[in-house]
A = this chain, B = another copy of it.
Amino acid sequence: MAALEVSDFAQAVIDRMGECQDARFKQVMSALVKYAHAFMREVDLTPEEWMAGIQFLTETGKKCDDKRQEFILLSDTLGISMLIVALDQARGAKALAGRPGEKPTEATVQGPFFWPGAPQLELGADIGQGYGEPTLYYGRVTDTGGRPVAGCELDVWSGDEHGFYDMQKGNEMHLRAQFRTDQDGNYRFWSIKPTFYPVPGDGPVGRMLDKMGRHLNRPGHMHMMLNAPGHERLITHIFVKDSPYLDSDAVFGVRNSLIVDFPRHPPGRAPDGRVLEQPYYTAHYDFRLVPSA
Protein backbone atom coordinates (compact mmCIF):
# COMPACT_ATOMS: atom_id res chain seq x y z
CA MET A 1 0.00 0.00 0.00
CA ALA A 2 2.60 2.50 -1.12
CA ALA A 3 0.19 4.85 -2.87
CA LEU A 4 -2.60 4.94 -0.29
CA GLU A 5 -2.67 4.54 3.43
CA VAL A 6 -5.71 2.92 5.00
CA SER A 7 -6.53 5.41 7.74
CA ASP A 8 -7.39 4.28 11.25
CA PHE A 9 -11.12 4.62 10.84
CA ALA A 10 -11.66 2.62 14.04
CA GLN A 11 -9.93 5.27 16.12
CA ALA A 12 -11.92 7.98 14.33
CA VAL A 13 -15.17 6.27 15.34
CA ILE A 14 -13.99 5.85 18.93
CA ASP A 15 -12.93 9.51 19.09
CA ARG A 16 -16.44 10.48 17.98
CA MET A 17 -17.88 9.35 21.33
CA GLY A 18 -16.67 12.33 23.36
CA GLU A 19 -20.24 13.29 24.27
CA CYS A 20 -21.31 9.76 25.25
CA GLN A 21 -22.81 9.84 28.75
CA ASP A 22 -22.75 6.09 29.42
CA ALA A 23 -19.23 4.96 30.31
CA ARG A 24 -19.97 1.25 29.97
CA PHE A 25 -21.71 1.72 26.61
CA LYS A 26 -18.72 3.73 25.42
CA GLN A 27 -16.34 0.99 26.56
CA VAL A 28 -18.33 -1.76 24.84
CA MET A 29 -18.81 0.18 21.59
CA SER A 30 -15.15 1.20 21.48
CA ALA A 31 -14.03 -2.41 21.80
CA LEU A 32 -16.65 -3.56 19.28
CA VAL A 33 -15.41 -1.05 16.71
CA LYS A 34 -11.75 -1.84 17.40
CA TYR A 35 -12.20 -5.61 16.96
CA ALA A 36 -14.63 -5.36 14.01
CA HIS A 37 -12.18 -3.18 12.08
CA ALA A 38 -9.21 -5.37 13.05
CA PHE A 39 -11.08 -8.40 11.71
CA MET A 40 -11.79 -6.77 8.36
CA ARG A 41 -8.26 -5.44 7.98
CA GLU A 42 -6.73 -8.82 8.81
CA VAL A 43 -8.70 -10.63 6.10
CA ASP A 44 -8.63 -7.63 3.70
CA LEU A 45 -12.39 -7.97 3.27
CA THR A 46 -13.63 -7.16 -0.25
CA PRO A 47 -16.75 -5.10 -1.10
CA GLU A 48 -18.42 -8.28 -2.41
CA GLU A 49 -17.73 -10.13 0.85
CA TRP A 50 -18.94 -7.13 2.85
CA MET A 51 -22.18 -7.10 0.85
CA ALA A 52 -22.60 -10.86 1.42
CA GLY A 53 -22.29 -10.11 5.15
CA ILE A 54 -24.90 -7.33 4.94
CA GLN A 55 -27.30 -9.66 3.13
CA PHE A 56 -26.67 -12.48 5.62
CA LEU A 57 -27.40 -10.23 8.61
CA THR A 58 -30.52 -8.83 6.93
CA GLU A 59 -31.85 -12.30 6.15
CA THR A 60 -31.06 -13.46 9.69
CA GLY A 61 -33.13 -10.57 11.07
CA LYS A 62 -36.00 -11.33 8.69
CA LYS A 63 -36.00 -14.97 9.85
CA CYS A 64 -36.71 -13.99 13.48
CA ASP A 65 -40.28 -14.15 14.77
CA ASP A 66 -42.14 -15.07 17.96
CA LYS A 67 -41.01 -18.70 17.69
CA ARG A 68 -37.63 -18.41 16.01
CA GLN A 69 -34.57 -16.40 17.06
CA GLU A 70 -32.04 -16.81 14.25
CA PHE A 71 -29.53 -14.36 15.79
CA ILE A 72 -29.41 -16.42 19.00
CA LEU A 73 -28.92 -19.50 16.81
CA LEU A 74 -26.05 -17.67 15.11
CA SER A 75 -24.58 -16.80 18.50
CA ASP A 76 -25.00 -20.40 19.66
CA THR A 77 -23.37 -21.94 16.61
CA LEU A 78 -20.41 -19.55 16.69
CA GLY A 79 -19.69 -20.50 20.33
CA ILE A 80 -20.60 -17.00 21.49
CA SER A 81 -23.51 -18.04 23.72
CA MET A 82 -21.26 -20.51 25.58
CA LEU A 83 -18.59 -17.82 25.95
CA ILE A 84 -21.18 -15.50 27.53
CA VAL A 85 -22.32 -18.32 29.85
CA ALA A 86 -18.75 -19.07 30.90
CA LEU A 87 -17.87 -15.40 31.46
CA ASP A 88 -21.02 -15.00 33.55
CA GLN A 89 -20.30 -18.06 35.66
CA ALA A 90 -16.69 -16.97 36.16
CA ARG A 91 -17.91 -13.59 37.46
CA GLY A 92 -20.37 -15.32 39.81
CA ALA A 93 -17.66 -17.66 41.06
CA LYS A 94 -15.22 -14.91 41.98
CA ALA A 95 -16.32 -15.34 45.60
CA LEU A 96 -14.52 -18.70 45.47
CA ALA A 97 -11.16 -17.17 44.54
CA GLY A 98 -9.71 -17.86 47.98
CA ARG A 99 -11.02 -21.42 48.08
CA PRO A 100 -9.16 -23.27 45.33
CA GLY A 101 -10.61 -26.68 46.17
CA GLU A 102 -14.20 -25.53 45.74
CA LYS A 103 -15.33 -25.97 42.17
CA PRO A 104 -18.98 -25.41 41.20
CA THR A 105 -20.86 -27.45 38.65
CA GLU A 106 -20.20 -26.01 35.22
CA ALA A 107 -22.94 -24.06 33.47
CA THR A 108 -24.02 -24.41 29.88
CA VAL A 109 -26.51 -22.76 27.52
CA GLN A 110 -30.16 -22.35 28.50
CA GLY A 111 -31.35 -22.86 24.94
CA PRO A 112 -34.70 -21.77 23.48
CA PHE A 113 -36.91 -24.41 25.14
CA PHE A 114 -37.21 -23.27 28.77
CA TRP A 115 -40.91 -22.73 29.59
CA PRO A 116 -41.57 -21.03 32.94
CA GLY A 117 -44.36 -22.39 35.11
CA ALA A 118 -43.83 -26.12 34.71
CA PRO A 119 -45.84 -28.31 37.13
CA GLN A 120 -44.39 -28.59 40.65
CA LEU A 121 -44.16 -32.30 41.40
CA GLU A 122 -43.15 -34.50 44.32
CA LEU A 123 -39.70 -36.04 44.33
CA GLY A 124 -39.80 -39.36 42.51
CA ALA A 125 -42.58 -38.37 40.08
CA ASP A 126 -42.40 -39.68 36.50
CA ILE A 127 -42.63 -37.03 33.77
CA GLY A 128 -41.62 -39.42 30.97
CA GLN A 129 -44.64 -41.74 30.83
CA GLY A 130 -45.75 -42.34 27.27
CA TYR A 131 -42.41 -41.28 25.83
CA GLY A 132 -39.00 -42.98 25.55
CA GLU A 133 -37.03 -45.29 27.80
CA PRO A 134 -37.59 -44.73 31.55
CA THR A 135 -34.67 -43.19 33.37
CA LEU A 136 -34.21 -42.43 37.05
CA TYR A 137 -32.34 -39.18 37.65
CA TYR A 138 -31.01 -38.75 41.17
CA GLY A 139 -28.31 -37.06 43.18
CA ARG A 140 -27.62 -34.34 45.68
CA VAL A 141 -27.34 -30.56 45.61
CA THR A 142 -24.69 -29.05 47.85
CA ASP A 143 -22.75 -25.83 47.89
CA THR A 144 -19.13 -25.84 46.77
CA GLY A 145 -18.11 -26.54 50.38
CA GLY A 146 -20.21 -29.73 50.46
CA ARG A 147 -23.07 -28.39 52.63
CA PRO A 148 -26.45 -29.73 51.47
CA VAL A 149 -28.85 -27.25 49.83
CA ALA A 150 -32.36 -28.12 51.05
CA GLY A 151 -35.42 -26.79 49.20
CA CYS A 152 -33.47 -26.04 46.02
CA GLU A 153 -35.81 -25.55 43.07
CA LEU A 154 -34.84 -27.85 40.25
CA ASP A 155 -36.42 -27.18 36.86
CA VAL A 156 -35.87 -30.00 34.38
CA TRP A 157 -36.82 -30.24 30.71
CA SER A 158 -35.87 -32.29 27.66
CA GLY A 159 -37.02 -33.33 24.21
CA ASP A 160 -38.92 -36.56 23.59
CA GLU A 161 -37.51 -39.83 22.22
CA HIS A 162 -37.44 -38.27 18.72
CA GLY A 163 -35.69 -35.09 19.92
CA PHE A 164 -38.73 -32.79 19.84
CA TYR A 165 -39.65 -30.49 22.72
CA ASP A 166 -43.28 -30.02 23.77
CA MET A 167 -43.32 -26.39 22.67
CA GLN A 168 -42.28 -27.41 19.16
CA LYS A 169 -45.35 -29.64 18.91
CA GLY A 170 -48.14 -27.66 20.57
CA ASN A 171 -49.35 -25.78 23.61
CA GLU A 172 -49.26 -28.59 26.19
CA MET A 173 -46.36 -29.13 28.59
CA HIS A 174 -44.65 -32.50 28.51
CA LEU A 175 -41.34 -33.82 29.80
CA ARG A 176 -40.78 -30.85 32.09
CA ALA A 177 -41.38 -30.20 35.78
CA GLN A 178 -40.11 -28.43 38.87
CA PHE A 179 -38.88 -30.38 41.92
CA ARG A 180 -37.47 -29.38 45.30
CA THR A 181 -34.57 -31.04 47.06
CA ASP A 182 -35.26 -32.65 50.43
CA GLN A 183 -33.69 -31.82 53.81
CA ASP A 184 -30.39 -33.41 52.80
CA GLY A 185 -30.29 -31.78 49.36
CA ASN A 186 -31.35 -34.95 47.56
CA TYR A 187 -33.41 -35.02 44.39
CA ARG A 188 -34.86 -37.81 42.24
CA PHE A 189 -37.34 -38.03 39.38
CA TRP A 190 -38.18 -40.24 36.42
CA SER A 191 -38.05 -39.09 32.83
CA ILE A 192 -36.57 -40.55 29.62
CA LYS A 193 -33.09 -40.96 28.23
CA PRO A 194 -32.85 -37.96 25.86
CA THR A 195 -31.71 -38.33 22.27
CA PHE A 196 -29.70 -36.08 19.98
CA TYR A 197 -31.50 -33.63 17.69
CA PRO A 198 -30.68 -30.95 15.10
CA VAL A 199 -30.91 -27.19 15.57
CA PRO A 200 -33.08 -25.49 12.89
CA GLY A 201 -31.27 -25.74 9.57
CA ASP A 202 -33.71 -24.12 7.13
CA GLY A 203 -32.43 -20.53 7.54
CA PRO A 204 -29.29 -18.51 6.85
CA VAL A 205 -27.50 -20.02 9.88
CA GLY A 206 -28.16 -23.51 8.51
CA ARG A 207 -26.62 -22.48 5.20
CA MET A 208 -23.62 -21.01 7.04
CA LEU A 209 -23.07 -24.26 8.97
CA ASP A 210 -23.32 -26.26 5.77
CA LYS A 211 -20.71 -24.05 4.12
CA MET A 212 -18.51 -24.38 7.21
CA GLY A 213 -18.67 -28.17 6.74
CA ARG A 214 -20.58 -28.66 10.01
CA HIS A 215 -23.61 -30.73 11.02
CA LEU A 216 -26.62 -29.38 12.94
CA ASN A 217 -26.83 -31.84 15.82
CA ARG A 218 -26.74 -31.53 19.58
CA PRO A 219 -25.95 -34.64 21.67
CA GLY A 220 -28.69 -35.98 23.98
CA HIS A 221 -29.08 -33.97 27.21
CA MET A 222 -31.41 -33.21 30.11
CA HIS A 223 -31.76 -29.49 30.91
CA MET A 224 -31.51 -28.49 34.57
CA MET A 225 -31.96 -25.09 36.20
CA LEU A 226 -31.22 -24.79 39.93
CA ASN A 227 -32.45 -21.91 42.07
CA ALA A 228 -31.79 -21.73 45.81
CA PRO A 229 -31.80 -18.69 48.11
CA GLY A 230 -28.26 -17.66 49.04
CA HIS A 231 -26.74 -19.30 45.97
CA GLU A 232 -25.97 -18.32 42.38
CA ARG A 233 -28.48 -19.67 39.89
CA LEU A 234 -27.12 -22.56 37.85
CA ILE A 235 -28.33 -23.38 34.32
CA THR A 236 -26.79 -26.50 32.87
CA HIS A 237 -27.33 -29.85 31.15
CA ILE A 238 -26.58 -33.48 31.94
CA PHE A 239 -25.20 -35.06 28.76
CA VAL A 240 -25.75 -38.74 27.89
CA LYS A 241 -22.37 -40.44 27.77
CA ASP A 242 -23.06 -42.75 24.81
CA SER A 243 -24.80 -40.10 22.69
CA PRO A 244 -23.46 -39.29 19.23
CA TYR A 245 -22.13 -35.74 18.69
CA LEU A 246 -20.69 -35.33 22.21
CA ASP A 247 -17.46 -34.14 20.62
CA SER A 248 -19.15 -31.89 18.06
CA ASP A 249 -22.19 -30.29 19.73
CA ALA A 250 -23.49 -27.71 17.21
CA VAL A 251 -23.66 -25.09 19.98
CA PHE A 252 -20.44 -26.02 21.87
CA GLY A 253 -22.37 -26.65 25.09
CA VAL A 254 -20.62 -29.86 26.21
CA ARG A 255 -18.30 -29.76 29.23
CA ASN A 256 -16.57 -32.99 30.18
CA SER A 257 -17.73 -32.60 33.76
CA LEU A 258 -21.36 -32.75 32.60
CA ILE A 259 -21.15 -36.06 30.72
CA VAL A 260 -22.90 -38.75 32.74
CA ASP A 261 -23.12 -42.53 32.46
CA PHE A 262 -26.64 -43.81 31.82
CA PRO A 263 -26.31 -47.48 32.86
CA ARG A 264 -29.08 -49.77 31.56
CA HIS A 265 -30.79 -52.13 34.00
CA PRO A 266 -32.98 -55.22 33.47
CA PRO A 267 -36.63 -55.10 34.59
CA GLY A 268 -36.98 -55.15 38.39
CA ARG A 269 -36.79 -52.94 41.47
CA ALA A 270 -35.08 -49.57 40.88
CA PRO A 271 -32.98 -47.84 43.59
CA ASP A 272 -35.99 -45.70 44.64
CA GLY A 273 -38.16 -48.81 45.20
CA ARG A 274 -40.21 -48.56 41.99
CA VAL A 275 -40.72 -51.89 40.24
CA LEU A 276 -40.36 -51.79 36.45
CA GLU A 277 -41.49 -54.43 33.99
CA GLN A 278 -39.19 -53.13 31.29
CA PRO A 279 -35.49 -52.23 31.18
CA TYR A 280 -34.64 -48.79 32.54
CA TYR A 281 -31.69 -46.42 32.93
CA THR A 282 -30.25 -44.50 35.85
CA ALA A 283 -28.37 -41.20 35.78
CA HIS A 284 -26.62 -40.00 38.90
CA TYR A 285 -25.35 -36.44 39.21
CA ASP A 286 -24.44 -34.24 42.20
CA PHE A 287 -24.62 -30.47 41.80
CA ARG A 288 -22.40 -27.93 43.56
CA LEU A 289 -23.73 -24.36 43.79
CA VAL A 290 -21.75 -21.18 44.41
CA PRO A 291 -22.81 -19.32 47.58
CA SER A 292 -23.93 -15.77 46.70
CA ALA A 293 -21.32 -13.08 47.29
How far, in whole Å, are A6 and B255 apart by their CA atoms in the complex?
A: 11
Measured as residues with beta carbon below 8 angstroms from the partner, the interface class of chain A is 35 or more
Decide if A87 touches B45 in the complex (CB within 8 Å).
yes
- Copies of this chain assembled into the complex: 2
Residues of A in contact with B (beta carbons under 8 Å apart): 1-7, 9-10, 12-13, 16-22, 25-29, 31-47, 49-50, 54, 57-62, 64, 69, 71-72, 75, 78-91, 93-94, 96-100, 102-104, 106, 144, 211-214, 248, 252, 290
Decide if B57 touches A61 in the complex (CB within 8 Å).
yes
Q: Among B10, B61, B290, which residue has its beta carbon within 8 angstroms of that of A62?
A: B61
Given contacts A31-B39, A72-B54, A90-B4, is CB(A84)–CB(B45) below 8 Å?
A: yes
Given contacts A35-B38, A252-B9, is CB(A17)–CB(B212) below 8 Å?
A: yes
Decide if A3 touches B93 in the complex (CB within 8 Å).
yes
Known: A3-B102, A28-B49, A61-B64. 15 other contacts (CB 8 A): A2-B96, A2-B100, A4-B90, A9-B86, A12-B79, A12-B252, A17-B213, A25-B212, A29-B212, A32-B39, A35-B36, A35-B38, A35-B39, A37-B80, A57-B71
Decide if A6 touches B79 in the complex (CB within 8 Å).
no
State how many angstroms separate the Cβ of A52 from the closest Cβ of chain B.
9
Decide if B28 touches A45 in the complex (CB within 8 Å).
yes
Residues of chain B with a CB closer than 8 A to A93's CB: 1, 3-4
Given contacts A9-B83, A78-B36, is CB(A58)–CB(B58) below 8 Å?
A: no
